């Protein structure tokens, strides 16, 4: 049914806090969720060991780093075989500009989100993609404006009610 592990309301509050700022001290988290520092640390360790907290990262400003152009690329596969998928997925995984890569249902086979400096930079990625495997169609859409972007997952806030 669901892969969700058993969480209580305190776990969810800890996750909400860490999603906003993972650099917050254990003592500050503990204070906010009304636990001792040791009990809070044990919960965070369990959430990490259970794979709920996969890693802690810094979120960087793409524009300030010169890769502020977001491109969404849709791909239709040239064939549908495991060998083709392995070849294509391996090639895509080696392209640092690819931020996200999804296999889809429906008319489009794959969706990629890229961060690039400009159209010329995108063209270099495009050429790598078409060299990687036989593709039926590659279409691109350049983002004009980011209206919402978050890394915070929606949490089951109704736990414990």
pLDDT band of residue 4 (cuts 50, 70, 90) is low
Average pLDDT on 22-43 reads 98
88, 70, 67, 92: which is closest to 141 by C-alpha? 70
Domain spans of the chain?
A: 9-49, 69-142
pLDDT band of residue 75 (cuts 50, 70, 90) is very high
Q: Which CATH number fits domain 9-49: 2.60.120.470, 1.10.3720.10, 3.40.50.300, 1.10.10.10?
A: 1.10.10.10
pLDDT band of residue 158 (cuts 50, 70, 90) is low
Q: What is the pTM of this model?
A: 0.87
> Would you call 102 helix, strand, or coil by DSSP?
strand
Kindly tell me the burial class for residue 144, based on how many C-beta atoms sit within 10 Å of its own C-beta (0-12, 13-18, 19 or more). Answer: exposed
Q: Classify domain 69-142 at the CATH class level.
A: alpha beta
Query: Is the model's pLDDT at 3 over the cut of 70?
Result: no
Query: Is the model's pLDDT at 68 over the cut of 50?
Result: yes
The neighbour count for residue 138, using CB atoms within 10 Å, is 14
CA distance linking residue 4 with residue 25, whole number of Å:
26
pLDDT tens sequence across 98-135: 999 999 999 999 999 999 999 999 999 999 999 999 99
Query: Is the model's pLDDT at 159 over the cut of 80?
Result: no
DSSP code for 13: H
Kindly tell me the burial class for residue 3, based on how many C-beta atoms sit within 10 Å of its own C-beta (0-12, 13-18, 19 or more). Answer: exposed
Average pLDDT on 47-70 reads 96
CA distance linking residue 54 with residue 6, whole number of Å:
16
């Amino acid at each position: 049914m669901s892969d969700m592990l058993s969480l209580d309301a305190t776990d969810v509050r800890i996750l909400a806090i860490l999603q906003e700022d993972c650099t917050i001290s254990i003592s500050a988290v503990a204070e906010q969720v009304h636990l001792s520092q040791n009990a809070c640390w044990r919960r965070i360790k369990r959430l990490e060991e259970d794979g709920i907290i996969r890693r802690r990262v810094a979120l960087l400003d793409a524009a300030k780093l010169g890769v502020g152009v977001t491109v969404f690329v849709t791909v239709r596969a040239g064939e549908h075989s495991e060998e083709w998928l392995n070849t294509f997925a391996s090639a895509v995984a080696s392209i640092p500009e690819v931020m996200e890569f999804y296999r889809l249902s429906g008319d489009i086979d794959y969706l990629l989100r890229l961060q690039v400096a400009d159209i010329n930079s995108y063209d270099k990625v495009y050429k790598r993609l078409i060299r990687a495997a036989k593709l039926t169609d590659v279409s691109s859409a350049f983002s004009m404006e980011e209206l919402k972007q978050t890394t915070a997952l929606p949490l089951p806030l109704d736990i414990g009610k």
